[in-house]
Amino acid sequence: MVIEVGRVGRSLTRRWTASATVAVAVAAVSLTGVVPATAAQVTVVSCSANPGALQSAITAASPGDTLLVSGTCTGPFAINKNLTLRGVSRAVLDGNHAGSTVTVGSGAQVLLDRLTLTHGSAASSGGGVDNEGTLTVLSSTVRDNTAPVGAGGGIHNLGTLTVVSSTVNNNYSDGAGGGINNNGYLTVRGSTVFGNSGDNGGGIFNFLAGQTVELIQSSVHHNTARASDGGGINNYQGEMTVSGSSVYSNTAPFGGGIWNGGTLTVSRSSVLLNTATGGPGSGGGIYKSGGTVALDRSVVRNNTPDNCAPPGSVLGCTG
């Protein structure tokens, strides 16, 4: 059932009005940089009684609106306008294995806050999220999604994606990027990417030159590249910065922790206890196939069978 805040009882209206107004203003600033001249609508969407209520509410919403979501909502869901979806009491968006749980269209600026996105199964890429717009995933969980014939089991990004204080876990891709596949601009801050599986780039895959990843104060662990390269991270030809982060206990044939063919800077970070199964010289910690790798006040230790490969390819990395 969809209920407009203005139509609920007075006490409930008073309780929500102040916080909702602030939340809408903050969301508007973060998404557009400018507070809108007219107040956006805040709408309550309860999926407890009607699991299919959310997509109707998304369709009916005006650009800039906020939807306060509760219960388990059955999708998949498509968002093609500027919109905030904010979860209440552990709200769940369930893709029902019928496509990407959430698809964000080109040009849309979207905030997903305090939500669990699960059970997406994409026909091509992006089991949990397929993003072509400007998307922020905040204080949320993207888990148990699949891309059985494509890339990005958890998230497939073609636009601008920011993941903050969130978890991307237990997603599966038949192609690149079990957790996140990046073909745009990606920032991961204060988040965890773990337990994901892909053909390569088990945790995070960054594709071509000009496509960028910033991994900040985050952890990438216990991910698996089944077929080839980069158990935790595969920076194929793009630009990646790993800052204040940890990459540990990941597995791949080559580059158990990180496989690099682009431009990689690892600053104030650790690459530990990763495993490459390709034998001696397969780069348990970091495998440098090409490009550049710069270590800045970072630790690469206790990886199997070696810390960095080929020998001498990464300045400052030994063993």
Q: Kindly state the tokens that stand for 12.
A: 């409930």
Residue (of 166, 167, 201) closest to 183 by Cα position: 201
pLDDT of residue 38: 58
Separation of alpha carbons 275 and 291, rounded Å: 22
| Sheet of 185-189, strand order | 2-4, 42-46, 65-70, 83-87, 109-113, 134-138, 160-164, 185-189, 212-216, 239-243, 263-267, 292-296
Q: Kindly state the tokens that stand for 296.
A: 């800045």
Give the tens place of pLDDT for each residue, 117-131: 999 999 889 999 999
Give the tens place of pLDDT for each residue, 248-279: 999 999 999 999 999 999 999 999 999 999 99
User: For the chain, what are the domain ranges?
Assistant: 76-83+99-309
pTM equals: 0.88
Give the tens place of pLDDT for each residue, 32-51: 444 444 578 999 999 998 99
pLDDT averaged over the chain? 90
Give the tens place of pLDDT for each residue, 94-115: 999 999 999 999 999 999 999 9
